[in-house]
Amino acid sequence: DYRGNAATLDTIVSITRQIMADTTSSVKVIQIVGLASPEGSVARNYLLGQNRAVALRNYIQSRVSVPDTAFELCNGGEAWTELRSQVEELDMEGRDQLLSIIDNEPDPDVRERKMKRLNGGRTYRYLKDNVLSDQRNSGYIRIYYDYVPDSAAAVINKASALLRREKYQEALDTLEPVRHDA
């Protein structure tokens, strides 16, 4: 129930269920990217990102019949790109210095230490209270699927046109190949 997660999870399950049940589509892959906020060590966050992806897959599978083979789990690790985008939108003390640290410090652990020291820690406290909490999530999910045209619909439409012209036997013969189509 944290931060409306229940509603988000219900939406994910509902959309997944709809796509899986749609006879005009064929699901190719359900990609889940697990992410973690940059708080803490890279190693810990890497494990956290992976566990979040697994947890979301398990949650979906507990509610929708989806085989393991349909999933592609990706570990996005620390969500630095997302953090940078959020910081860029803020009007806060130390924003430009913070963006410079994110852009120019290659080592994520060193980057975090520098962020914590910025402006006597005020900038990082602000981030922790207002931004980093948004990154404590599973990441994102994408469902790739192909549209499969309903070939029976074309046959039924053709038979309907024949019926309007009172060509009953021809309409019946046209419908025969799709007699048992769901």
Residue located via tokens 């992976």? 50
Band of residue 8 on the pLDDT scale cut at 50, 70, 90: confident
Contact 60, 19 (CB under 8 A): no
Q: Residue 172 in 3-state DSSP?
A: helix
Residue 122, strand partner residues: none
- In which band, very low, low, confident or very high, does the pLDDT at 2 lie, cut at 50, 70 and 90? low
pLDDT tens, residue by residue, 62-120: 999 999 999 999 998 898 998 999 999 999 989 999 999 999 999 999 999 999 999 99
